[in-house]
Amino acid sequence: MALLEIDGIGKTFRVDGNDICAIDHVDLSVAENEFVSIVGSSGCGKSTLLNIVGGLEETTSGMVRIGGSPVEGPGRDRGFVFQGYSLFEWKTVESNIRFALEKTRLSRAEKDERVAHFIQAVGLAGFERAWPAQLSGGMRQRVAIARALVYRPRILLMDEPFGALDAQTRGMMQELLLRVWEDHKVTVLFVTHDVEEAVFLADRVVVLASRPGRIKRDLPVPLPRPRAYDIVAEPEFIALKRKILGDIREETLKTMGFPA
Partner 1 sequence: MPVSSRRRGRYMRLRQDIPNWLFTLAGIAFPAALILMWWLVSELGLVRPLFLPGPGDVMVEGLRQAREGILWEDASVSIYRILAGWLSATLVALPVGILMGNYRLIEGALEPLISTVRYMPVVALIPLSILWAGIGDAQKILILFLGTFFQQVLMVMDNVKTIDRNLIRAGQTLGFSNGEILARIILPAAAPGIWDTLRITIGWTWTYLVVAELVAANAGLGRRIMDAQRYLATETILFGTLFIGFLGLLTDYFFKRTGRALFAWQRQR
| 172 CA to centre of own chain | 17
Q: Please check whether residue 173 is in contact with residue 14, taking contact to mean a CB–CB distance below 8 angstroms.
A: no
- CB closer to partner 1, 89 vs 218: 89
Return the DSSP state at 153: -
Q: How far is the CB of 229 from partner 1 (least distance, A)?
A: 29
- CB closer to partner 1, 135 vs 198: 135
- CB closer to partner 1, 37 vs 83: 83
252 CB-contact burial (10 Å; exposed 0-12 / middle 13-18 / buried 19+): middle
- CB closer to partner 1, 73 vs 259: 73
- CB closer to partner 1, 147 vs 204: 147
* C-alpha radius of gyration, the chain, whole number: 19
Query: CA distances (Å), 258 to each of 22, 243, 246, 254, 255, in order?
Result: 20, 20, 15, 6, 8
Q: How far is the CB of 115 from partner 1 (least distance, A)?
A: 14
- CB closer to partner 1, 81 vs 215: 81
Q: How far is the CB of 204 from partner 1 (least distance, A)?
A: 24
Amino acid at 134: Q
Q: How far is the CB of 118 from partner 1 (least distance, A)?
A: 14
* Neighbouring residues of 78: CB distance < 8 A, sequence distance ≥ 6: 53, 54, 55, 66, 153, 154, 155, 156, 157
* Cα-based torsion angle of the residue sequence 242, 165, 125, 179 in order, rounded to the nearest 10 degrees: -10
- CB closer to partner 1, 103 vs 185: 103
Strand runs labelled E in the chain: 4-15, 18-30, 35-39, 61-66, 69-70, 78-81, 155-159, 187-191, 204-209, 214-220
Binding-site ranges for partner 1 (CB under 8 A): 54-56, 73-76, 78-80, 82, 84, 86, 88-91, 99-100, 102-103, 131-134, 147, 151
Q: How far is the CB of 176 from partner 1 (least distance, A)?
A: 20
Amino acid at 187: T
Q: How far is the CB of 41 from partner 1 (least distance, A)?
A: 23
Give the other-Cβ count within 10 Å of 209's Cβ. Answer: 21
Give the other-Cβ count within 10 Å of 154's Cβ. Answer: 17
Q: How far is the CB of 21 from partner 1 (least distance, A)?
A: 23
